[in-house]
Amino acid sequence: MNLLLVAPILVPLLTAALCLLAWKSVRVQRWLGVAGSAALLASALALFAEVDGRGMAVSHAGEWAAPFGITLAADLLGALMVVLGGIVGLMVAVYSLGSIDEGRERFGFHPLVQILLMGVCGAFLTGDLFNLYVWFEVLLMASFVLTALGGERAQMEGAIKYVTLNLVSSAIFLAALGLLYGLTHSLNMADVSLRLARLNYPALENLLAVLFFIAFGIKAAVFPLFFWLPASYHTMPVAVSALFAGLLTKVGVYALIRVFTLVFRDDVEFIKELMLVVACLTMAVGVLGAVAQMEMRRILSFHIVSQIGYMIIGLALMTPLALAGTVFYLAHHIIVKTNLFLVSGAVARATGSFELKKSGGLYAAQPGLALLFLIPALSLAGIPPLSGFWGKYILVKAGLESGQVVLVVVALAVSVFTMISMMKIWSEAFWKPHPLGLTPAPVGLLNGPIAAMAAMTLAIGFGVEPVMQLAERSAQQLLEPQTYIRAVLEARR
Amino acid sequence: MNSLILRTTTGFLLSLLVLFSVYLMLRGHNAPGGGFIGGLTATAALTLYAFAFDVATVRKMLRLDPLSVAGLGLVLALVSGLPGMLGGDAFLTSRWALLALPDGTEIHLGTPLLFDFGVYLVVIGVGCAVLLTMAEERGE
């Protein structure tokens, strides 16, 4: 159990270290990257099987018992997120073989991706708030370098915005941690949860809840804190932006879920109302931002923002069905969004541009790629029977059950606008002939990960029952934090 | 920099500083010191050498690329966490062995020392990677 829990952190660390040892040989690093990501996915699946079969896995690093040592804990949500991280890591590693230029590879692209994955997995597995901060820093450091690596002009501009706003978020997170520690004298999530329940300082607790909401909200890119995202994601290499699009904002969402189901349980009524408003505005503003864009990755970036809104819905409603919807949506979204970014790279490779006005003719030249675009695109818009439909269906149903009519109307309207955006990409990049009359070039290897992720989208869509059951069980765990708390505090000393 | 005095003293200082850095690393378990400070001291020694002579000499002395030194350190630090897990404990649980020398002194050897040595190498590797690159860019 100990090994299973640390493996998703150790495997990428080891891979990164081996990449550094092979610093001179880009080719060795390439294959280490793929092999390491595959091993990460395997270890994540093993952890998931363990958690699924035998319940929560808990390990205290160095046998320093909670609440003093660093706790690693995996419930169903954590294990599921690690698996999704492994999938995205592997797909991006394979995709980067055919798309990253050698200059970036020589300056550490492969080890950086692994360190980013280590940070992501660590954030999903930690049971300690300060340790969560550390993992955030690990993944941010790696992402800062990946954002700026290559040093193109536009890239630097995006990187500065990205770095600045994320540093602000980290500072707020750290300040909140300081206050929380002053209030409860503990940083272990399970322990803090118990201590907060015993304290009676509603004003301070509300302040802390808002600080955490802002800190994670910036990372999750919710309204009105999302501006760094569409400003930077379209400037990076495709493999990097796909990795970020799939995982980084979702780490923020995960942290929100964890903190607001485990740590702040009782006195958070007002933050729930705040979340409802934020969810609506995030969905609406994100999708409206996308309407005005004509660059493929900018459109997709704004859609990340709007989709984050859907995930916040479940957290705001906090009913079993709504939370299950959020978990389902996370899984669906990570796969679909990563895939859409991968497709955008293939489109740019084939037609020579991310600008929709300058591309075209893909449907005639490569109907296969066109189909592979349609699957995640229609899924994102929520067309049955693809995965996005089920995610939206569950959240809308949960919204109706809670009597949140406005929320439901916004969610459905946003879905229509998402469809419009996807059709815009379809008609410009795929349907219309190429403006310069070029025949799109073949994209070769890039099709592999795209097809694999499209297959996963189809699998979630058609095999919705088991995934939904998993999401429901995971929501059940989240709504009964006593199990988590007991598992952490009473684990073998 | 071309200074005879600096070159001559650096020859002596280098070995002294590196010895001192190892001493700092070893005493770190129970007293001020440790892998990080030891690593910084060793990096300072190597930087001094790079000033007195040139960057290429230091790179040759390291034998490995600085970042590979850091990679090696990471591997060592990681490995130091594993023995604890073999006994069924959590990752990074320390394991100790008593080394009795013929003259009666006893030395406690443990996995934290290996961890500290890993940190030591990581700090040297990253420190040298940064400093040597900057020194080269200055046009040496």
Distance CA A217, CA A226 (A): 8
Specify the pLDDT at position B136: 83
Average pLDDT, chain A: 91
C-alpha to C-alpha distances, A144 to A23, A34, A69, A159, A248, nearest whole angstrom: 20, 22, 29, 7, 12
The structural domains of chain B, with segments of one domain joined by +, span: 4-139
Q: How confident is the model at residue A365 (pLDDT cuts 50, 70, 90)?
A: confident
Averaged pLDDT for residues A88-92: 95
How far does the CA of residue A17 sit from the closest CA of chain B (Å)? Answer: 4
Residue B89, chain A, CB below 8 Å: the answer is yes
Q: Which B residues in the span 101-120 are in contact with A, Cβ-Cβ below 8 Å?
A: none
How far does the CA of residue B57 sit from the closest CA of chain A (Å)? Answer: 19
Average pLDDT, chain B: 89
Distance CA A85, CA A117 (A): 7
Residue A266, chain B, CB below 8 Å: the answer is no
Specify the pLDDT at position B13: 92
Q: Does A156 score more than 70 pLDDT?
A: yes
Cis-peptide into A385, omega within 30 deg: yes
How far does the CA of residue B3 sit from the closest CA of chain A (Å)? Answer: 34
Provide the β-strand partners of residue B109. B97
Q: Does B20 score more than 90 pLDDT?
A: yes
CB pair distance less than 8 Å for A23 and B75? no
| Nearest residue, CB atoms, B92 vs list A14, A61, A108 | A61
CB pair distance less than 8 Å for B74 and A17? yes
Residue B87 burial by CB count (10 A; 0-12/13-18/19+): exposed, middle or buried?
exposed
Which residues in A lie closer than 8 A to residue B85 (C-beta atoms)? 2-3, 6
Pick the more confident residue, B100 or A475: A475
Q: How confident is the model at residue A490 (pLDDT cuts 50, 70, 90)?
A: confident
Q: Does B138 score more than 70 pLDDT?
A: no
Contacts of residues A151-157 at CB distance under 8 Å and 24 or more positions apart, as own/partner, are A152/A235, A154/A235, A155/A235, A155/A236, A157/A231, A157/A235
DSSP A427: I
Q: Does A242 score more than 50 pLDDT?
A: yes
| Nearest residue, CB atoms, A10 vs list B67, B70, B78 | B78
User: Shortest CA distance to A486 belongs to which of A198, A193, A184, A255?
Assistant: A193
Chain A residue with the nearest C-alpha to that of B89 = A63
Specify the pLDDT at position A268: 66
What are A274-319's pLDDT values in tens digits? 899 999 999 999 999 998 888 989 999 999 999 999 999 988 888 9
Residue A419, chain B, CB below 8 Å: the answer is no
ipTM of the complex: 0.90
Pick the more confident residue, A442 or A454: A454
Tell me the count of A-B CB pairs closer than 8 A. Answer: 61
Contact assessment for residue A180 and residue A187, using Cβ atoms and an 8 Å cutoff: yes
| Nearest residue, CB atoms, A6 vs list B65, B91, B125 | B91
CB pair distance less than 8 Å for B75 and A21? yes
User: Shortest CA distance to B26 belongs to which of B37, B40, B16?
Assistant: B37
| Nearest residue, CB atoms, B78 vs list A14, A19, A23 | A14
C-alpha to C-alpha distances, A300 to A21, A81, A303, A441, A453, nearest whole angstrom: 37, 22, 5, 23, 17
Averaged pLDDT for residues A33-55: 94
Chain B residue with the nearest C-alpha to that of A18 = B71
CB pair distance less than 8 Å for B91 and A20? no
Averaged pLDDT for residues A429-455: 84
Q: Does A105 score more than 90 pLDDT?
A: no
How far does the CA of residue B90 sit from the closest CA of chain A (Å)? Answer: 5
Please tell me the least confidently modeled range out of A4-18, A162-176, A191-205, B71-85.
Answer: A191-205
Query: What is the value of pTM for the model shown?
Result: 0.94
Q: How confident is the model at residue A492 (pLDDT cuts 50, 70, 90)?
A: low
Q: What helix, strand, coil percent values describe chain A, rounded to 5?
A: 80, 5, 15
Q: Does A493 score more than 80 pLDDT?
A: no
Pick the more confident residue, B131 or B1: B131
The two structure tokens encoding residue A19: 């990449």
How far does the CA of residue B84 sit from the closest CA of chain A (Å)? Answer: 8
What are A389-398's pLDDT values in tens digits? 999 999 999 9
Averaged pLDDT for residues B29-46: 92
How far does the CA of residue A72 sit from the closest CA of chain B (Å)? Answer: 10
End-to-end CA distance of chain A: 14
Averaged pLDDT for residues A47-58: 91
The two structure tokens encoding residue B6: 């600096």
